[in-house]
Chain A
Amino acid sequence: MTRQNPLWELTLCRFREFAREPEVIFWVFGFPVLLAVGLGIAFRDRPPEKIFVAVVSHPEAPSIVERLKRVPAVNAEIQDPQQAASSLRLGKVALAVALGSGYEYRYDPTRPDSLLARSIVDSALQNAAGRQDPVKTIERAITEPGARYIDFLIPGLLGMNLMGGGMWGIGFVIVDMRIKKLLKRMIATPMRKIDFMLAMILSRLAFMVAEVVLLLLVGRFAFGMIIQGSVASIVAVAFFGSMCFTGMGLLVSSRAQKIETVSGLMNLVMLPMYVVSGVFFSAERFPRVLQPYIQSLPLTALNDALRSVILEGAHLATQGPHLAILALWGSLSFLLALRWFRWN
């Protein structure tokens, strides 16, 4: 029998071991899809909620209610003064309108829905009373795909998954092999260390393509997401991200002797990025002073690049700075990992 290529054999074995672990398959492929579906349903687009308004009982109250019924967003009803006060206090209504010589608006100015109610109701009543707007306005609703939460979410989940896959998929496996003395057994053969490392990377890349395609398919067919960028540029960005986190996975596992150690290290690296790097909400929400740090994190760079390419159809060349951040983190981690790596 002729000798097989060792790099091919190592990659193939990594593949088989991966495919034969149902739990791993779930966490890598099932979990992000479930998360996307769950969050997509929770934050799906709904018609805006009605604003409830109380009109304090008065001979003219019914005509006021009649006028407000023409405003689609408002739901008005007549209440006696005590009832109106109580409804306002309990938040059942956003605004109470009392009639006298003019209109008296009672509301809590710290509640956004009350401010909105006051503005809408006032405008409706003033127009009904004959006010003319000096400037003509037209309104156009923008609810096309690309601006919805699910559109924002899918690239974030993809970034998160590439990070988790790179870190767990490499770090956990290497420490496990070290504990089982398999690393030591392997360097007791003529195996080239570079083949071993390359096999890890190659198997990661193959899983990366599968992860990207799967999440994009879910986004496209379950949520009607419109993918603006080319698949090639999306995969290219994912490649940079995947390589970066593979390097970081190698680094955290380069010396760890226990699963607990490497789990702790990985959580230390990943948890802050889950929060600040714009997976579930925009990284821009954090204070301005923190932005330089947040923007230089690899997951922030990856998520931003993925969103630009997927949602805006940005050309790969425009993502240079983001890709540079990923390349820097990745290559630095690789170099340190190679230097510190402990086989036995």
Chain B
Amino acid sequence: MTLAIRCKDLYKCYDNKVDAVRGLDLEIPTGECFGLLGPNGAGKTTTIEILEGLLDPTRGDVEILGKRWGQHDTELREWLGISLQETKLPEKLTVREVLTLFRSFYRKGRDPVEVIAQVELTEKEKTWVNKLSGGQRQRLAVGCALVGSPKILFLDEPTTGLDPQSRRQLWSLVRQFKQQGGTILLTTHYMDEAERLCDRVAIVDHGKVIAIGSPVEMIATLGGEHVVEFALDRTNGKTLSSECLAELASVMSVRSESDSFSLHVQEPHLAIPALISYLRETEVSLVRLTTRHASLEDVFVKLTGRHLRDE
């Protein structure tokens, strides 16, 4: 399998002070949808902009489709479709004019009208950019990336700040591109986006990859695919020990957070009755109990002790 993106030992310091990226390795085969997941400030945007050839790394090695920045820029620019975080496209141009402009930059590319239809903006074809909604603007930005008929699509936080329907429309654009054999690298701090969209995910924290794999594999490393969360009534001053909870049937691990606990369990139908009877024995009562599927968020919490959105 050929590699679309490969980077090794990537470092980036800004003004010799902040280390945004500290030794990052990635290998992404063609045809894969790969996600960089991490909290704000983890170094995702710096990483993707180095791979896009828009930033120079302090040191490290980058290869895109076997070519290097600084040597094959002209070809690479033809092959990549890019959507930056928060680009403001020209406000007083129409959707069609913007796409025709971007199309003119590429030797080979697609008919702007066809791209407009694909990003579901046909009705807005003659509308100025400043009259579009957030979701429509973001689809137009992706359209600008698609109009050059790229081999790799780079999307930096494509759905940040969008409503659920707009997010789903964008996800479907990404899936279509992948079905046609394209490679995608996207960054996100939404775990659900990474889980649903990406074949593989790298969790990035403080400029390093701390875990890499398919969402299913990563969640499996937690030991239990289900999470039982509960909070105790503390009025009688009683509490529970994590060690005792870990002994309960089917419980793989225990985490306590101020007045609540979360258990990773393999089989909730065994763990919950065991928990209830244990609570009855110790005469502690519940104020809340929920169960859910484990997510990449739990993987991040397990690895760092922090939540994705804490920053």
Within 8 Å CB of A16, what residues of B? 92-93, 97
**Contact indicator A17/B87 (Cβ below 8 Å):** no
**Contact indicator A181/B101 (Cβ below 8 Å):** no
**Contact indicator A185/B112 (Cβ below 8 Å):** no
**Contact indicator A190/B78 (Cβ below 8 Å):** yes
Interface residues on B, range: 20 to 34
B residues adjacent to A (C-beta < 8 A) = 52-55, 74, 77-78, 80, 82, 84, 86-90, 92-93, 97, 100-107, 109, 111-113, 128, 144, 148
A residues adjacent to B (C-beta < 8 A) = 1, 3-6, 8-10, 13, 16-17, 20-21, 180-182, 184-191, 344
Closest Cβ of chain B: how far from A202's Cβ, in Å?
15
Contact of A188 among B52, B92, B100 (CB under 8 A): B52
**Contact indicator B87/A13 (Cβ below 8 Å):** no
**Closest residue on chain B to residue A14 by CB atoms:** B90
**Contact indicator A3/B92 (Cβ below 8 Å):** no
Within 8 Å CB of B97, what residues of A? 13, 16
Query: When A and B form their complex, which 9 residue pairs have the shortest distance between CB atoms, in order from nearest?
Result: A180-B88, A190-B77, A9-B104, A20-B92, A191-B105, A189-B105, A6-B104, A1-B111, A4-B104
Main secondary structure of the interface of B (DSSP, over half): loop
**Contact indicator B100/A344 (Cβ below 8 Å):** no
Closest Cβ of chain B: how far from A344's Cβ, in Å?
6
Within 8 Å CB of B90, what residues of A? 13, 17, 182
Within 8 Å CB of B88, what residues of A? 180-182
**Closest residue on chain A to residue B52 by CB atoms:** A188
Within 8 Å CB of A17, what residues of B? 90, 92-93
**Contact indicator B105/A181 (Cβ below 8 Å):** no
Within 8 Å CB of B93, what residues of A? 13, 16-17
Closest Cβ of chain B: how far from A19's Cβ, in Å?
9
- Once bound together, how far apart are the Cα atoms of A185 and B137, in whole Å? 14
Identify 19 residue pairs between A and B in the complex whose beta-carbon atoms are under 8 Å apart, listed by A's number: A4-B104, A5-B104, A6-B104, A6-B105, A10-B101, A13-B93, A16-B97, A21-B92, A181-B84, A182-B87, A184-B54, A185-B82, A185-B84, A186-B105, A188-B54, A188-B84, A189-B106, A190-B107, A344-B55
A189 and B92 in contact (CB under 8 A), knowing A5-B104, A9-B101? no
**Closest residue on chain B to residue A189 by CB atoms:** B105
Closest Cβ of chain B: how far from A180's Cβ, in Å?
4
**Contact indicator A344/B54 (Cβ below 8 Å):** yes
